[in-house]
Amino acid sequence: MNTDILEKEILENHEKYLKRIALFKSYGYDVEKERKFIVEQAKPLNGKILDAGTGKGYFALALAKEGHPFVTFDISADQQQFAKLNLAYFGFANLVDFRIENAECSSFPDESFDIIFSVNLVHHLQNPYQVAEELSRILSPNGKLIIADFTETGFRIIDKIQALEGKTHETGKATLSDIESYTKTKGFYITKMKSNIQKILIVKKAFH
């Protein structure tokens, strides 16, 4: 692609990002603050890191700002393109390995990652327990899985924004509480924390 065309695409994409961040903030949802909150709760960040479910890359940007190289995947190349362009704007493209993967059956070998983030993904999933099994499979024995999703307040805000845009915010078959109960039956130890917008589970092997 021509360099000038690419630069224009990056700038136009970033303008869309700024407008969307401003829209969220006008409804009381500070995306950058909430993503940073998740990162802070997950520290220390050591070893190989995976961001499961890139989406538009809001969390990928927060992680990149910490200076950590990581892998991120999504099933949608179109969604991920927004993230690629935005991280390029901030100069973080070289930190991130973008992949197209299905969270239900990824191509990653067993125990590939020491830290796995799943941010606001659970409520989109049609087969959430299968995804939980897959993320557990690729998590190292000493690793931790950070699963975050919206609080009731967060969901209300997202629903309002989706309605404003003429969309419906569809949700899947499991809540974060359901995933918590499920992972406990699999022998994991869980710690919880929350903000006004986000609920977080940090999932580890029970002997840690």
For residue range 142-163, list pLDDT tens digits in order. Answer: 999 999 999 999 999 999 999 9
Q: State whether the Cα torsion 64-66-69-75 is positive or negative.
A: negative
Q: Is the pLDDT of residue 2 over 80?
A: no
Q: Where are the alpha helices (DSSP H) in 51-196?
A: 58-65, 77-89, 128-137, 152-164, 176-185
Place of tokens 């557990």: 136
pLDDT over 70 at 45, yes or no: yes
pLDDT tier, 206 (very low <50, low <70, confident <90, very high otherwise): low
Instruction: Return mean pLDDT, the chain.
Output: 93
pTM: predicted TM-score of the whole model, two decimal places: 0.94
Closest Cα partner for 64 from 33, 31, 86, 41? 86
pLDDT band, very low/low/confident/very high, at 176 (cuts 50, 70, 90): very high
**Model pLDDT, residue 207:** 56
- Its sign, for the CA torsion 89, 15, 78, 105, is positive
Mean pLDDT along residues 120-124:
93
Burial 173-198 (b: 16+ CB within 10 A, else e): ebbbeebbeebeeeebebeeeebebb
Percent of residues, the chain, with pLDDT higher than 70: 97
In this prediction, residue 172 has a pLDDT band, given cuts at 50, 70 and 90, of confident
Q: Does pLDDT of 117 surpass 50? A: yes
Q: What pLDDT is recorded for position 170?
A: 75
Q: Is the pLDDT of residue 208 over 50?
A: no
Residue 183 reports pLDDT greater than 70: yes
> Which domains occur in the chain, in start order?
3-205 (3.40.50.150)
Q: Which residue type does 150 have?
A: F
